[in-house]
Each structure stands twice: as C-alpha cells, then as structure tokens.
Chains A and B, each alone.
Chain A
Amino acid sequence: MLNDLIGGFKTIAPSIPYIINGIWVSLGIALGASILGFVGGILLSLCKIGNIKVLNGLARAYTSVFRGTPLILQLAIAYFGIPQLFQMGDVNPFTCAVLTFGLNSAAYMSEIIRSGINAVDKGQFEASEALGISYWPAMKDIILPQAIKNILPAMMNEFITLTKDSAIVSTISVTDMMRRSQIVAAQYYLYFPPMLVSLVMYYVIVLILTYFGGRLERRMRRSD
C-alpha cells in the first residue's frame, strides 16, 4: 500500500504545482469576500443599533436569512438560479463566488461588529456629544476604531473560516484548490494523493493566518 501511495504521488507530481497554485484563487475569494463582508457588516450593524425601525427590521431579517440557510445553497442560487431566472446568460463564477461569500459574511460580520460597538463604554459617546461632535463623526472616528480593535481576533477567525469554506466554490466550477485536486484526481483516477496535497496546503495556510492573527492581537494590546 505504501508503495502504491508513493507511486501515486510520483504520478501526479507534475500536477502538484497546479493544485497548490489554486490557493491564490481560494485566498482571493476570501479576501474579496471579507472586504465586502466588512463594509456590509458595518452598514448592517449600524442599522441594527440605530433608532430607525425599518432599517432595524431589514438588517435583522437579512442576517437571519443568510445565517439560517446553507452557504452551498446560496451559492447555487446565485450561480445557477438567479442567472436563469433573469436570463443573464453565463456569469463569471469567480465574481459570483466573491459576491455570495461577501453577502453571507456581512451577516456574520454585522453581529461581531454590533457586539464590538456595544462593548465600547457608553461614556465615549457622551464625551463626544458633550464636545459637540455629531453622530456620524463620533461613530467613525471615536466609537468604531475602539470597537474594531476589540473584535479584531473575531474578524481574523471569520477570515480563516472564509478561506476554508471557500472550498465549496468548487461546486460552481471555480478552479480553486479543491476543484483542482478533483480535476487531477479524475485525470489520473487517483484520489488520495491530490486530496492530501490540498489538505496539507489548507492547513498550512490556516496555521500561517492564525500565527499572524495572534501577532496582530498582541501588537494591538501593547497600545492599551
């Protein structure tokens, strides 16, 4: 069996760089989605903590739907369902993946940011008010920077989760690392070696991200 395994790796060796380079696709999706998710999350969280009832309800409904349904199904609807319904022809699967992941991540991110804002001392808002600073500048320059500092670890986790979950874009024909190992597996009719390559690769990337997350957190704590 061991010989078979070693032989298997030898067979797919020329394709290993192809699989590994898929990580850039995965990271690209995670990065694009987290930027979208961050901006969307801030907007949603502001809707949730504000006094406007309509926005309140909308933001909560949005979060509820995106958190309450499978991501792989949301992806399928975005890539297969909606384009067919509106006769949009072929849509770019990568763009589709970034948008869906971004919208989904915004729902999770908004909860993180909301708890971060709530954790900032109410006195910070009062001190701003007493200085004649109006709501938006106070939010942008005083409250949010403090909130984001507190929730940085949680946001880093969200990014790591996105990187891992991005593997499901293989279902809409994006050639990310997962998809590439499937392609290689099918080509040589050898499953274990290509899957192991991407497994190790995903894990290494997550370890690296975790390491940088920890460093970032320590650096932030130093200015306290």
Chain B
Amino acid sequence: MIKAEHIFKNFGELHVLKDVSLEIRKGEVVVIIGPSGSGKSTFLRCINLLEKPTGGRVEIDDQEMTALRPKQVVKVREKVGMVFQHFYLFPHKTVLENLIYAPMKVKGLSREKAEERAKELLEKVGLSEKAGQYPSKLSGGQQQRVAIARALAMEPDYMLFDEPTSALDPEMVKEVLEVIQSLADTGMTMIIVTHEMGFAKMVADKVVFMDDGQILESASPDQFFSAPKTDRAKDFLEKIL
C-alpha cells in the first residue's frame, strides 16, 4: 500500500502542492487527471522521492520514505517502477541491455537470468525482434513500450506512469495504452497521470481530479465522468471531451 499524507511542495515562491493526501491499495489502479500545471506530475514524483516533498509524509508498505536516508530510499525504489513522458531509455545501450542493466546491477541477477526475463518481457510488449537495436532506431511508441518493459524487469510491486503517451504521435498512443491495460489486467498496482480520458474511464478503479495543487475530487470513473461534483471538474471535462 502507498500512503501519501499532507504533501506540500514548494519551488521557491511557487506552491505546487498544497496538502495532498492519497491512499493506493494493493491491486488498485488510480488515474490522476487535471489541467496542466495542476501538480499531478510533481505529486507522482513525490511518491518515489524523485522530488523531495517540502512537507508531509510518504509511506510505501509501511516504510516511511520521507524519513529514510538516501541509501535506503534507493532500496525502496526497487519496488516502484516508473515510466516517464519522454521514455529516458539509455541511448548508448541496446534494448536488451536497457532491460538487463538494473536487474544485474541492483538485484544481482546473473546475465542469463536477466536476459531470459528481459526476453519474456519484450515478447509481452511485442518487441522481441528489437532486442539488439539501439533506442534511437525505434519509434516513440516502441521506445515507451521498452521503457515499460525496463521498469517491469525489476519486478516492481507498484508502477507509476507520468503522462506515458503525451510525447507520442497520435497513431502510437494505442499500442502503449494496450500494454498498460494488459498490465492492469494482471492486477498490478498503478498510479497513472494522463490526459487520455477514454483510457482513464476504462482502466481506473479510482479517478483523482487535481487542480491548483490540490485534490478536488476522488471517485469511481463512472461517478466522476457522469456526475462530477465540483465546478472546476465540470469545466475541465467540458473543455476536453
């Protein structure tokens, strides 16, 4: 279980998060939506401490991330996979090397074991034939699927998705969403920040609406999309749907 309690984040004078609390139970898929600049991504990055909250606490499986030393934080991060908007594959490594590096270095897996697992994952995301390629030879959609496989190679208990399709050409969005959907079907616990409303409706157990650094609504997708409670959520949905 992930618990975020009363998270505040300031960048200098800018207050990006103002008292954000959220709980994610095992097996739950939470989708965070909201206008640009509402603090969604920052909040997601606070969960695995890529961004250090100015105030509040984050707990992952009863371990208080915000109280740990940097070395221990690195350890807990193994349990939390993250997928970024801009993929951030390692450009000087092949697809297969991208997938086996962390399992070998961090988990101490043998090369054979790591490669075996990597190949399984590549098959799952439909990119077996790209194992020997460098990331620059792949399309955006393919790169993002590799990035998802890379995160899964660490066998995480949780996955964080930070606008995974926002940097993609429209025709590539579907292939990435399908991979995420199939991951949800396996019961993976996930937090997804996205602008894809149709996808949110389909995949989410819970939809969280953020605006101006706060959570304004938290509801089931049916409830939220058919009858949003706040005016700002109504406004937002009207603009994008």
Contact = CB atoms under 8 A, between A and B. Distances in A.
B106 A133 contact: yes
B206 interface: no
Contact of A133 (B86, B89, B105, B151): B105
A132 B91 CA distance: 19
Given A124-B88, A130-B80, A133-B74, 12 more contacts: A121-B86, A126-B88, A127-B84, A132-B75, A132-B102, A132-B106, A133-B101, A133-B102, A133-B105, A142-B90, A149-B92, A223-B92
B88 A131 contact: no
Given A123-B86, A146-B92, A131 B134 contact: no
A127 B102 CA distance: 11
Nearest to A145: B92
Given A129-B50, A130-B81, A124 B90 contact: yes
Interface residues on A, range: 10 to 19
Interface string A160-186: 000000000000000000000000000
A132 B88 contact: no
Nearest to B79: A132
B78 interface: yes
Contacts of B134: 223
Contacts of B71: 134
Contacts of B223: none
Nearest to B97: A141
Interface string B53-92: 0000000000000000001001101101110101011111
Interface of A: 121, 123-124, 126-127, 129-134, 137, 141-142, 145-146, 149, 223-224
Interface string B21-51: 0000000000000000000000000001010
Interface in B128-168: 134, 136, 147, 150-151, 154
B88 A129 contact: no
Contacts of A123: 84, 86, 88
28 contacts: A121-B86, A126-B50, A126-B84, A126-B88, A127-B82, A127-B84, A129-B50, A129-B74, A130-B48, A130-B77, A130-B81, A130-B82, A131-B78, A131-B106, A131-B150, A131-B151, A131-B154, A132-B74, A132-B75, A132-B77, A133-B74, A134-B74, A137-B105, A141-B101, A141-B105, A142-B90, A146-B92, A224-B91
A130 B48 CA distance: 7
A120 to B, nearest CB: 10
A131 to B, nearest CB: 4
B150 to A, nearest CB: 7
A131 B102 CA distance: 6
Interface SS of chain B: mixed
Contacts of A127: 82, 84, 88-90, 147
Which residue of B50, B74, B150 has the most chain A CB atoms within 10 A of its CB atom? B74
A141 B106 CA distance: 13
A210 to B, nearest CB: 25
A224 B151 CA distance: 23
A197 to B, nearest CB: 44
Which residue of B77, B80, B82, B105 has the most chain A CB atoms within 10 A of its CB atom? B105
Contacts of A130: 48, 50, 77, 80-82, 84, 151
Contacts of B92: 145-146, 149, 223
A195 B188 CA distance: 75
Contacts of B84: 123, 126-127, 130
Nearest to B85: A123
A137 B151 CA distance: 17
Nearest to A131: B102
B108 to A, nearest CB: 12
